[in-house]
Amino acid sequence: MDIQLEKKKGLRPKHYGYIAMGILLLFVGWKLLFAGTTSTFRTDKERLSISEVVDGKFDDFITINGNVAPIATIYMDAYEGGRVTEKLIEEGAMVKKGDIILKLENMVLYEQILASESNLALKQNDLRSTKLNFDSRLLDGRQSLATAFYDLQRLKRNYEQNQELYEEKLISKEAYLLSKENFELAQRQHNIIEKQTKQDEELSKTSLTSLDADLVRMRKTLSMVYERLDHLNVRAPADGQLGFLDAEIGQNIAQGQRIGQVNVLTDYKIEAEIDEHYIDRVKRDLFASLERNGNEYQLRVRKVYPEVRNGRFQVDLVFTDNKPETIRAGQSYNIRLQLGASNDALLLPKGGFYQSTGGQWVFVLGASEDEALKRNIRIGKQNSRYYEVLEGLQPGEKVITSNYDSFGTAERIVLK
């Protein structure tokens, strides 16, 4: 009879192999998982710019490039339209205020002047005729008034004499009443003529005053037309240098058309463009400086233009004291614009990484300097050399400051 043997419990040698293989698979899976969560980019260390974070003095300034321009530019627009008949001064020449640059002709304006002169002559003739008529009427009125007054006095004496004679019964009542009626009639006629004469005088004054005012207005209008005629001579509006001049002999110029400009060279300004990043910090009266031939010249921001074009805005700077002797319009200068006072800060040299990260993070090298890991930071102000680091870095740490575009989405850089 066969006896059934009981199986022994526990690990057998072959089981150890299975366990070892499972542990190996778990380790490999963990490595693959770790590699999948942290992307890595490998590159040669010599191809990168690496800078050290240091403690130092942060000078709050920026370096900008500006071009010299005249302190003022005065544009010349045609007051009157016309055809160019003569060009007396060429572009680039120095001019004095009032110098004639162009001569124009305008036949329509000439006709208007002739018509105004003719109207003025007619008005003057009308005024003379009216004055003569009024003078003649006033003279007749005064003569009539004098005759009436003479008759009044004569009839008054006759009436008074007849009154005395009638009272003494030396004349008839009819003779007395006739002299009285004649006197009263003469008195009424005298009053009427006197009143008419005063009305004529008042009418004469009012009418002649109105005519004189009309004549003055016509003369003023003619004077303005003559001024328009003088505007056919295009004159320099100020002392300076004639810039561009867009006019040739025979060319028709429209009224109000811009035909040139005069650059005022009594002083100069510098026009510069600044990145819009600084638009909140650049204000009027900030100080700046430039160096030329070993000398330093001080400037001041005179005007900040509000428009931003292509990510930049414009400012005008003027010299506060001396300026370079050889300064000329069109020259280019590097200018140091002071935005604020200097202060102690943690400094990171500027580099191309800022265009890729906006200064929000950087790659920081480890102690062995064979790899760099991504780290968030916070940057404050910046000048032409440094960024002011507010958070995320320590003095002595090294940072990759070259451009990050080639790194893609990598969070770890392996340096070879």
Q: What is the pLDDT of residue 315?
A: 95
The C-alpha angle 172, 173, 174, rounded to 5 degrees, equals 90
Whether the per-residue pLDDT at 41 is higher than 60: the answer is: yes
Query: Residue 52 CB: number of other CB atoms within 10 A?
Result: 14
Percentage of the chain lying above the pLDDT 70 cut: 91
- The b/e string for 330-350 (b: 16+ C-beta within 10 A; e otherwise) is eeebebbbbbeeeeebbbbee
d(CA 260, CA 262): 7
Which residue has 């542990």 as its token pair? 23
Which has the closest alpha carbon to 359: 339, 331, 379? 379
The answer to whether 304 and 280 are in contact (CB under 8 A) is no
Which residue has 């451009």 as its token pair? 403
Domain boundaries of the chain, sorted by first residue? 37-58+344-415, 108-224, 265-336
* H-helix or E-strand spanning residue 296: strand 295-309
pLDDT digits (tens, 9 = 90+) for 79-111: 888 999 999 999 889 999 999 999 999 888 888
What are the structure tokens assigned to 245, written together? 């001049």
Residue 92's region, left for phi above 0, alpha for psi from -120 to 50, else beta, is left
- Report the side by side order of strands in the sheet with 361-365: 40-43, 412-415, 371-376, 361-365, 398-400, 50-52
pLDDT digits (tens, 9 = 90+) for 341-367: 888 899 999 999 998 898 899 999 998
What are the structure tokens assigned to 221, written together? 């209008």
pLDDT digits (tens, 9 = 90+) for 107-146: 888 888 888 778 877 877 877 787 778 778 888 888 888 8
Confidence band, pLDDT 50/70/90 cuts, at residue 208: confident
The CA–CA distances, whole Å, from 211 to 126, 141, 317, 405 equal 9, 22, 58, 86
CB proximity list for 182: less than 8 A, separation 6 or greater: 155, 158, 159
Q: What is the pLDDT of residue 401?
A: 93
* Total count of residues recorded for the chain: 416
DSSP 131: H
Q: What is the pLDDT of residue 35?
A: 47
Segment 383-393 shows an average pLDDT of: 89
Q: Which one is predicted more confidently, 9 or 236?
A: 236
Least confident of 74-88, 204-218, 247-261, 377-391: 204-218
CB proximity list for 270: less than 8 A, separation 6 or greater: 66, 67, 68, 69, 299, 316, 317, 318, 333, 335
Q: What is the pLDDT of residue 34?
A: 47
Pick the CATH number of 265-336 from 1.10.1060, 2.40.30, 1.10.1200, 1.20.1070: 2.40.30
pLDDT digits (tens, 9 = 90+) for 57-70: 888 888 899 999 88
Q: What is the pLDDT of residue 36?
A: 47
Q: For the chain, percent helix, then strand, then coil, each to nearest 5?
A: 40, 35, 25
Q: CATH code for 37-58+344-415?
A: 2.40.420.20
Whether the per-residue pLDDT at 12 is higher than 80: the answer is: no
pLDDT digits (tens, 9 = 90+) for 142-173: 888 888 888 889 989 998 898 888 888 888 88
> Can you name the residues that pair with 109 across neighbouring β-strands?
none
Burial of 170 (0-12, 13-18, 19+ CB in 10 A): exposed
